[in-house]
Amino acid sequence: MKIAELDTPALIIDLDIFERNLQRVADYAKQHHLRLRPHTKTHKSPEVARRQLELGAAGLTVAKIGEAEVLMDKLPPTDMLVAFPVFGVRKLERLKGLAAKTPVTVALDSLAAARELEGVDASILIEIDVGLGRVGVTPAEALDLAREVRKIPGLRFRGITFYPGHIKDQNAEALTRLSEDMSRTVESFRKAGLSPELVSGGSTPTLFHSHEIDGLNEIRPGTYVFNDLNTIASGACVLADCAASVLVTVVSTPRANTAIVDGGSKTFSSDRLSGSTDVTFGRVVEVPGTRFHKMNEEHGFFDTAKSEREFHTGEKVRIIPNHVCVAVNLHETVYGVRGEDVERSWKVEGRGRLQ
């Protein structure tokens, strides 16, 4: 089948770019002796996870137990990181079920979250806030927490984790500071007799600088498999590295300078372009001067005043989304293409596993 024959909207992945993205990060990790534990939130698919493992990934990362369950239904046991505290009786039962199938590590940042896991066979990474201001505690608090974790039956302190999502690719100073902070943190743990087996960090934006961070021995990038406009904005990739786009059909050209396509916030998500005050929702590949400036749930609106050409109803164009992770989560099926040919498709099996 040709791309043009696909019903729209359809999420398509350029397999040449995708495979190059997978290989590049696998090579980078090997070159710098870093464990690669990709975050599967971007693709939510056992098929992609299998390829990551075949290329040398040391394990996988998930945001929720439901995603891990979907992966473990199809894949052999691997080193599985649940990068989120787990609360609640039923979830803990499911976590135990998961731990019976595969080695499980949980990331957390509070004693309450650690105590909740009592009796689960799990390794623990303690989350440190390195400046993003999201989850995570200070290094001193993390050390106290590590001591407490060791007393809880079933749990093993395995290391520390952090997410430097606030550092953009270009900021060498921030990276140096992070490296110095991390060096001090690891040293403080060593002195306390709690030498961390894993120092797990990295993000897609800082990905190719991970080897510059002292002590870091594991990376967990997610977005790198597909990339998107936000990844470009962060400096971590260029347009030619964007493997994912959404094929849409122009369904109406009701007025001058206006074209309307059959994809809106239920197709792309309404995530804005990061670091931009201008509100746009994607790049039209074939006609990049087009401004994709508005969405309803199922409509996307192009301002075509600066488009390189006119649009006509019924034609199909591709749009690279701002944020591919939330866009993939809205699609049932992904179509892998090479040139103009649809080579294969796979299901986003972990989609909507909310818990």
The contact pattern for a copy of itself, residues 291-310, with x = CB under 8 A and - = no contact, is -----xxxx-x---------
Measure CA 212 to chain center. 21
- Tell me if 233 contacts a copy of itself by CB under 8 A: no
- Tell me if 110 contacts a copy of itself by CB under 8 A: yes
Which residue is associated with the tokens 């921030």?
174
Q: Pick from 133, 153, 193, 275 the residue near a copy of itself by CB under 8 A.
A: 133
Residue 35 DSSP symbol: E
Q: Scanning residues 181 to 200, which ones bind a copy of itself (CB under 8 A)?
A: none
Task: Provide the minimum distance between the beta carbon of 274 and a copy of itself in the complex, in angstroms, as a whole number.
Answer: 12
Alpha-carbon span 325 to 62, nearest angstrom: 13
Nearest to 206 by CA among 176, 233, 170, 180: 170
Q: Which span sits near a copy of itself by CB under 8 A: 14-22, 150-158, 224-232, 327-335?
A: 327-335
Q: 35 or 64, CB closer to a copy of itself?
A: 64
Q: Scanning residues 275 to 294, which ones bind a copy of itself (CB under 8 A)?
A: none
Side chain identity at 68, as an amino acid letter? A
- Tell me if 354 contacts a copy of itself by CB under 8 A: yes
- Tell me if 274 contacts a copy of itself by CB under 8 A: no
Q: Is the C-alpha dihedral spanning 163, 165, 168, 172 positive or negative?
A: negative
Q: Are strands 104-108 and 79-82 parallel, antiparallel or unpaired?
A: parallel
Q: Pick from 79, 116, 228, 349 the residue near a copy of itself by CB under 8 A.
A: 116
- Tell me if 270 contacts a copy of itself by CB under 8 A: yes
**Cβ-based neighbours of 170, under 8 Å, separated by 6 or more:** 235
Q: 109 or 181, CB closer to a copy of itself?
A: 109
Q: Pick from 102, 179, 188, 265 the residue near a copy of itself by CB under 8 A.
A: 265
The contact pattern for a copy of itself, residues 13-52, with x = CB under 8 A and - = no contact, is ----------------------------x-----------
Sheet with 59-62: strands ordered across: 35-36, 218-219, 198-201, 155-161, 122-127, 104-108, 79-82, 59-62
Task: Provide the minimum distance between the beta carbon of 245 and a copy of itself in the complex, in angstroms, as a whole number.
Answer: 14
C-alpha dist (Å) from residue 314 to 249, 281, 291, 305:
6, 21, 19, 20
- Using CB under 8 A, count the residues that bind a copy of itself: 60
Alpha-carbon span 280 to 202, nearest angstrom: 28
- Tell me if 173 contacts a copy of itself by CB under 8 A: no
- Tell me if 331 contacts a copy of itself by CB under 8 A: yes
Task: Provide the minimum distance between the beta carbon of 11 and a copy of itself in the complex, in angstroms, as a whole number.
Answer: 8
The number of residues in the chain equals 355
Pinpoint the alpha helices (H) of the chain. 15-31, 46-54, 65-72, 89-101, 111-116, 139-149, 172-191, 229-234, 265-268, 324-328
Strand spans (E) along 163-314: 198-201, 218-219, 244-252, 258-261, 282-284, 291-295, 300-303
Measure CA 37 to chain center. 11
Q: Pick from 55, 85, 168, 233 the residue near a copy of itself by CB under 8 A.
A: 85
Alpha-carbon span 355 to 341, nearest angstrom: 36
- Tell me if 332 contacts a copy of itself by CB under 8 A: yes
- Tell me if 213 contacts a copy of itself by CB under 8 A: no
Task: Provide the minimum distance between the beta carbon of 54 and a copy of itself in the complex, in angstroms, as a whole number.
Answer: 26
Residues that bind a copy of itself (CB under 8 A): 5, 7-10, 41, 63-64, 84-85, 87-91, 109-110, 112-113, 116, 129, 133-137, 249, 251-255, 260, 262, 265-267, 269-272, 296-299, 301, 312-314, 325-326, 329-332, 351-355
